[in-house]
Amino acid sequence: MKNTPFTEKHIALGAKMAAFAGYNMPISYTGINDEHQAVRTNAGVFDVSHMGEFILKGEHALDLIQRVTSNDASKLTAGKAQYSCLPNNEGGIVDDLLVYCIEENKVYMLVVNASNIEKDWNWISQFNTNNVEMHNISDKTCLLAIQGPNATSMLQPLTDVDLVNMKYYTFAKGTFAGVPNVVISATGYTGAGGIEIYFEDTDGAADKVWDAIFATGGPKGLKPIGLGARDTLRLEMGFCLYGNDIDDTTSPMEAGLGWITKFTKPFTSSEIFAKQKAEGVTKKLVGFEMVDKGIPRHDYEIKDAAGNVIGRVTSGTQSPSMQKAIGLGYVNTPFAAQDTEIFIAVRDKALKAKVVKVPFLS
């Protein structure tokens, strides 16, 4: 099991640790609900250094990205980022990812899920027929996400980069807490605002940045946050989690990700997705709220009023913000309309729920 450069910090803070994607990661410190509310109302720090980062360089770098991703990366200019996915050849999803344009048409950074680093690298590499320079910098890259409505103002004293006015899905490179060449972005996975910082752990940079963040933000209520609250925060926003809500068997059209599926260029499975767009899909990912008391969990069956199985739950939790149980799941398309009554099979009971619009939090 791998450690991040911050593992000892988490243990010293009393975090509950567990294996996640091959890493020893903090699940919670003071409790998921407490940490969740800290991010929604103030600010919190997530260690997400387990994520993967690839650098693609060269005159054919954009061509390669265009061939393997569903979104249109040609729209990106330097300092902008984009959410996208890597479709497989059968209409499923290899992974979802972020594409950062560092130098237009020449240098890009791809940020991929921790559990898929090797899979994604191998997938992209097989399409690299024009000698694009590829570097897997995952093991040497630290990544902290400081999220919450007060995160940017709290951390502004640590950098000359204008954090407070940074637009969503943009980034800048600058000095942060005295560490040079830090990539600072605003692509949050919590819906609460904030930034992410990418930097190399050289000359004690990890300790220096972590300590500076808490020296500056700690007196203002900044808290360390584990992966448990990261999951409840993203679910309230209806954000997909790879391996739960999207995978090799689900298409972006089924997952409500048609907006990252652009037919302005050919890419793997683009013909399949175009057909799905034209003809419709047989199942759709929907959000739902529980009407009866009970918490939906991954892989629970979804049924209609007659007891027929019409889908399955992909993510579910008790929402700390809403004080009600919510979930995401795939259902047969006739049951995907808002306010449709569905039933979640919890043990031997069929508990009533209704389809609602996502994000759950407005």
For the chain, the domains span: 282-356
Residues 12, 211: Cα–Cα separation, whole Å: 13
pLDDT for the residue numbered 171:
98
Whether residue 244 contacts residue 300, with contact meaning beta carbons closer than 8 Å, is answered with no
The pLDDT tens digits of the residues spanning 142-174 come to: 999 999 999 999 999 999 999 999 999 999 999
**pLDDT digits 0-9 by tens, 25-55:** 999 999 999 999 999 999 999 999 999 999 9
pLDDT at 342: 98
Q: What is the pTM of this model?
A: 0.97
Distance from C-alpha of 130 to C-alpha of 187, rounded to nearest angstrom: 30
Does the pLDDT at position 330 exceed 90? yes
Please, what is the end-to-end C-alpha distance for the chain in angstroms?
A: 39
Per-residue pLDDT, averaged over 238-256, amounts to 98
The pLDDT score that the predictor gives to residue 209 is 98
Sign of CA dihedral 120, 121, 122, 123: positive
Confidence tier at 140 by pLDDT (50, 70, 90): very high
Q: Evaluate whether 49 touches 22 at the Cβ level (below 8 Å).
A: no
* Closest listed residue to residue 28, CA positions, set 47, 1, 43, 49: 47
Instruction: Report the C-alpha gap between 323 and 360 in whole angstroms.
Output: 12
Amino acid sitting at position 229:
A
pLDDT at position 77: 98
Structure tokens at 195: 């930034």
What's the rounded Cα separation, in Å, for the pair 95 and 226? 23
Neighbours of 122 (CB within 10 A): 10
Among 5, 112, 15, 98, residue whose Cα is nearest residue 49: 5
pLDDT attached to residue 362: 79
For the chain, what percent of residues have pLDDT higher than 90? 99
**Which residues, including other chains, have CB under 8 Å from residue 5's CB and lie 6 or more apart?**
49, 142, 201, 206, 207
Nearest alpha carbon to residue 255 among 302, 288, 298, 287: 287
The pLDDT of residue 156 is: 98
Does the bond joining 149 to the residue before it have cis omega, within 30 degrees of 0? no
Mean pLDDT of 282-300: 98
Question: What are the φ and ψ backbone dihedral angles of 210, each rounded to 5 degrees?
Answer: -60, -50
- The CA distances from residue 9 to 12, 19, 49, 219, 280, in Å, are 5, 16, 13, 18, 49
Strand-pairing partners, residue 306, are none
Residue 29 burial by Cβ neighbours in a 10 Å radius (0-12, 13-18, 19+): buried
282-356, what's its fold?
Elongation Factor Tu (Ef-tu); domain 3 (2.40.30)
Of all residues in the chain, the percent with pLDDT exceeding 70 is 100
| Model pLDDT for residues 90-109, shown as the tens digit of each residue | 999 999 999 999 999 999 99
Asked if residue 104 lies in contact with residue 78, where contact means CB atoms within 8 angstroms, the answer is yes
Strands (E), the chain: 16-20, 23-28, 44-47, 52-57, 80-87, 93-103, 107-112, 133-136, 141-147, 171-176, 179-185, 194-200, 223-225, 283-290, 301-303, 309-319, 324-332, 341-346, 349-356
In this structure, what are the phi and psi dihedrals at residue 32, rounded to the nearest 5 degrees? -60, -45
Is residue 284 packed enough to be buried (19+ CB in 10 Å), middle (13-18) or exposed (0-12)? buried
Contacts of 32 (CB under 8 A, 6+ apart): 226, 228, 229, 232, 320
Token reading at 114: 């921790």
Residue 318's pLDDT is 98
pLDDT in the model for residue 107: 98
